[in-house]
Amino acid sequence: MDEMKDVIKNYVIKEYVEDDTDVTYDTPLISGGIVDSFSMVSLKRFLENKYQIAIPDDKATPEAFDSVNKICLLVNEYLK
Amino acid sequence: MAFTEKTRGIYADILTGLKTAGLFKQERFIHSAQAADIEVEFPTGAPLKKVINICANNYLGMSSHPEVVKAAHAGLDSHGYGMSSVRFICGTQDIHRTLESMVTKFLGTEDTILFPSCMDANGGVFEAVLTKDDVMISDRLVHASIIDGIRLCSAMHDTFKHSDMEHLEEKLQLHNDKRLKMVITDGVFSMDGDTAKLDAMVELCEKYNALLFVDDSHASGFIGKTGRGTHEKYGVMGKIDIITTTFGKGLGGASGGCVSGRRELVEMCRQKARPYLFSNTIAPPVVAGVIKVLEILSASTDRRDKLEHNTEFWRKGLIDAGLIIKAGDTPIVPVMLFNAKLAQDVSRDLYEEGIYAIGFFFPVVSQGQARIRTQISAGHEIHHLEKALDAFKKVGRKYDILGKSKQEIIERYGM
């Protein structure tokens, strides 16, 4: 779980952060303005490719993607 | 529903909120034709003030060019005031098709379709040519009209970091399974004045079999050796699949826009683009004016050459004065002040000195990136620019920002 958290956190930083904004496992990503709703699509595709899962569009909501911890919960749901 | 006091109160609160946040826009009334020298009423009711305009998109000084005005008069006489119809019912005149052919030739594309504005072109083009099986990959700093067009389209949407070709390539790889991929960018970015790396983008699009879309609104008529646009500057004419542009800036300054590019894509717009299907096209006098603009620009590069010379003079003058500008070679020259209030104060003081230039700050640009955006024109003479430079120096001395670094300005005024 911790390894997954770091993988996702590092992806978010590399993909979306262009200054020295600190990102923790609980940092609000969508509501905090780090990831815009347009850019969520690449995060979803990254997760699907990385973990070989399919996340239904209706589950890929801004709420479900709003922090690294929440994203891990979502991914784990489809890993099972 | 009646417009009750409660309803009125809801909107009053919103508008008050905009004022409190410093986001309330106020128009200044210009009593003269658009040009380098204008007469402005500001604030409303104040006596007219003669100022030099350095914030118009009038890059080639065509807005009040006597030959263009004369051509528009002639078009009004020969083809009337309006069409009272959309294109496909009874709203297409010979001059509309003439203009489409001239734009096609000027931009070096296969075909062109006119739109009431470039905002409409960008609003309609994506949904006309892409479906949910496709993906749009756009630069993160594209114009608001492109973002609106993307929102109206069912294709998947992703972004790449501004002008970051490595990141774009990653995204092309990520979405390689899609039926069609379209890379979307501005040619010249309107806030920073930088240009898209179209040579590298064409290379990537060819490698990954992607379409390339460029909005060249801040380039058509003057960027490139003969003013054809950003694709000419980067040596990729004929390789851009869709170019959108406006007739409201360098190409006359009145109104109207177009989609120009691959024949099939233009035809798709003619059949399916909703702003084209459900709105009157460009009015006859404006069409006649744009035709004259293209005739003038096709016959001689004098105006874009003068603009290039003016831009070099202006950029060097600002740097020599000790101001910080965004690097580049386009006539969009942002003078960086970083702090929103400082940008507003400098704009106000410049106006007092007879120079009309506007401050831009968050949310139009990123937090801490406040600036005065200056825009140079072929309609400016060197004496206009010298006077504007003198004003910038005088105001710069007042705020003690000449020769100061970004860090020093931020330390004094904050972000």
Share of chain A above pLDDT 90, in %: 48
When divided into structural domains, chain A yields a total of 1
For chain A, say whether B157 makes contact (Cβ under 8 Å).
yes
> How far, in Å, CA of B32 to CA of B19, rounded?
29
> How far, in Å, CA of B371 to CA of B334, rounded?
6
**DSSP state, B188?**
B
Task: Determine the structural domain holding residue A26 and report its residue range.
Answer: 2-79
Q: Domains in chain B, ordered, with CATH?
A: 30-59+302-413 (3.90.1150.10), 66-299 (3.40.640.10)
Give this complex's ipTM.
0.81
Residue B316 pLDDT exceeds 80: yes
Residue of chain A nearest B367, judged by CA positions: A19
pLDDT score for A2: 77
| pLDDT, tens digit, 9 for 90 and up, residues B357-392 | 999 998 888 888 999 999 999 999 999 999 999 999
Model confidence at A40, pLDDT cuts 50, 70, 90, reads: confident
pLDDT score for B1: 66
Asked if B400 and B322 count as a contact pair (C-beta separation under 8 A), the reply is no
Check whether the bond before B331 is cis (ω within 30° of 0): no
**What are the C-alpha distances in Å from B271 to residues B127, B168, B184, B245?**
12, 31, 22, 20
The CATH number that applies at residue A20 is: 1.10.1200.10
Q: State yes or no: is B70 an active-site residue.
A: no
Contacts of B174 in chain A (CB under 8 A): 42, 45-46, 49
Residue B148 pLDDT exceeds 70: yes
Mark yes or no for CB contact A42/B171 under 8 Å: yes
| pLDDT, tens digit, 9 for 90 and up, residues B273-282 | 999 999 999 9
In this prediction, residues B222-247 reach a mean pLDDT of 98
For chain A, say whether B180 makes contact (Cβ under 8 Å).
no
Share of chain B above pLDDT 90, in %: 95
| Number of H-type helices and E-type strands within chain B | 16, 14
CB pairs A-B closer than 8 Å = 21
The encoded tokens of residue A78 equal 């489809």
Residue of chain B nearest A14, judged by CA positions: B167
Question: Which residues neighbour B336 within 8 Å (Cβ) at sequence distance 6 or greater?
Answer: B323, B324, B325, B326, B369, B370, B371, B406
Q: DSSP 3-state assignment of B139?
A: strand
Residue B201 pLDDT exceeds 70: yes
Helix axis angle, B165-174 relative to B198-207, nearest 10°? 20
Contacts of A49 in chain B (CB under 8 A): 174
Model confidence at A39, pLDDT cuts 50, 70, 90, reads: confident
Q: State yes or no: is B249 an active-site residue.
A: yes
For chain A, say whether B161 makes contact (Cβ under 8 Å).
yes
Residue A38 pLDDT exceeds 80: no
Which of the residues B163, B190, B217, B220 is marked catalytic? B190
Model confidence at A1, pLDDT cuts 50, 70, 90, reads: low
Helix (H) or strand (E) holding B338, with range, is: strand B332-338
Q: What is the distance of C-alpha B142 from the center of its chain?
A: 11
Beta-bridged to residue B89, according to DSSP, are none
> How far, in Å, CA of A42 to CA of B173, rounded?
11
Q: State yes or no: is B65 an active-site residue.
A: no
Residue ranges with strand state E in B178-277: 181-186, 211-215, 242-246, 257-261
| pLDDT, tens digit, 9 for 90 and up, residues B113-139 | 999 999 999 999 999 999 999 999 999
pLDDT score for A19: 76
Asked if B215 and B208 count as a contact pair (C-beta separation under 8 A), the reply is no
Mark yes or no for CB contact B158/A49 under 8 Å: no
> How far, in Å, CA of B323 to CA of B335, rounded?
7
> How far, in Å, CA of B72 to CA of B286, rounded?
6
Mark yes or no for CB contact B150/A38 under 8 Å: yes
In this prediction, residues B92-96 reach a mean pLDDT of 98
Residue B50 pLDDT exceeds 90: yes
| Phi, psi for A77 (deg, rounded to 5) | -60, -35
In this prediction, residues B157-168 reach a mean pLDDT of 95
Residue A57 pLDDT exceeds 90: no
